[in-house]
Structure 1
Amino acid sequence: MTASTSTAVARALTGVPAVTILCHVRPDADTIGSGLALGLALDRLGTEVEVAFPATVSLPTVLGDLPGSKLLVPAAEVVGHAVVVSVDAASLGRLNELAPVLSAAQHSVAIDHHASNEGFAELDLIDAGADCTAVLVLSVLDEMGVEIDDEIATCLYAGLVTDTGSFKWARPESFRIAARLIEAGVDGRAWSRALLDTHPFAWFSMVAQVLAGARLLPEACSGEGCVYAVVGHEILSAMSWEESESVIDIVRTANEAEVAAVLKETAPGEWTVSLRSKHSVDLVPIAAAHGGGGHRHASGYSDTGTVDDVIARLVESL
Structure 2
Amino acid sequence: MPPLPVRAEGFPAESDWAAAVDAVRGLDPDARVLLICHVNPDGDALGSMLGFGLGLRRLGLRRVQATFPGPPEVPEPFRELPGLELLVPATEAYQDPELVLCFDAASESRLGELVDRLATGGTAVVLDHHASNTGFGDVRLVQAGAAATSVVAEELLRRLDVPLDAGIAECLYVALATDTGSFRFDATTPEVHRLAARLLDTGIRPGEISRRIFDTRPLGAVRLYGDVLGRARLEPAAAGGHGFVWTYATLDDLARHEQRPYVLEPLIDSVRCAAEADVSCVLKQIAEDGWAVSLRSKGAVDVSQVAVTLDGGGHRFAAGFTGWGTAPEVVARIRDALDAAVVHREDQG
Partner of 1:208: 226
CA distance in 2, matches of 1:197, 1:123: 37
Q: 1:62-73 alignment to 2 at 5 Å?
A: 62-73=77-88
CA distance in 1, matches of 2:64, 2:72: 22
Partner of 2:22: 11
CA distance in 1, matches of 2:184, 2:238: 25
1:44 partnered with 2:58? yes
Tell me if structure 2 keeps the 8 A contact 1:6–1:136: no
Partner of 1:302: 322
* Structure 1 residue 202, shift from structure 2 partner: 0.8
* Structure 1 residue 254, shift from structure 2 partner: 0.5
1:190 partnered with 2:205? no
Tell me if structure 2 keeps the 8 A contact 1:11–1:144: no
Q: Which of 256, 280, 288 is 1:260 aligned to?
A: 280
Q: Which runs of 4+ in 1 moved over 6 A?
A: none
Identity %: 43
CA distance in 1, matches of 2:156, 2:248: 40
Q: Which of 135, 156, 169 is 1:119 aligned to?
A: 135
* Structure 1 residue 57, shift from structure 2 partner: 5.6
* Structure 1 residue 222, shift from structure 2 partner: 1.3
The one-letter code matched in structure 1 to 2:24 is: L
Tell me the SS of whatever aligns to 1:302.
strand
The one-letter code matched in structure 1 to 2:89 is: P
Unmatched runs of 5 consecutive residues or more in structure 2: 1-11, 339-349
Q: How many residues align?
A: 317
TM-score by length of 1: 0.96
CA distance in 2, matches of 1:70, 1:156: 16
Q: 1:1-318 alignment to 2 at 5 Å?
A: 5-17=16-28, 18=31, 19-47=33-61, 48-56=63-71, 58-80=73-95, 81-169=97-185, 170-237=188-255, 238-318=258-338
Tell me if structure 1 keeps the 8 A contact 2:72–2:88: no
Tell me the SS of whatever aligns to 1:145.
coil
Q: What per-residue deviation string (whole Å, max 9, x for no partner) do you get for residues 197-241 of structure 1?
A: 110011121111111110111011111101101112211344222
Q: What per-residue deviation string (whole Å, max 9, x for no partner) do you get for residues 122-151 of structure 1?
A: 000001121000111000000011110111
Unmatched runs of 5 consecutive residues or more in structure 1: none
* Structure 1 residue 35, shift from structure 2 partner: 0.9
CA distance in 1, matches of 2:309, 2:174: 31
CA distance in 2, matches of 1:55, 1:288: 22
* Structure 1 residue 102, shift from structure 2 partner: 2.2
Q: What per-residue deviation string (whole Å, max 9, x for no partner) do you get for residues 79-103 of structure 1?
A: 1411111011111111101111122
Query: Superposition RMSD on alpha carbons, in Å?
Result: 1.5
Tell me the SS of whatever aligns to 1:46.
coil
Tell me the SS of whatever aligns to 1:85.
strand
Tell me the SS of whatever aligns to 1:176.
helix
Tell me if structure 2 keeps the 8 A contact 1:85–1:102: no
Tell me the SS of whatever aligns to 1:262.
strand
* Structure 1 residue 195, shift from structure 2 partner: 0.9
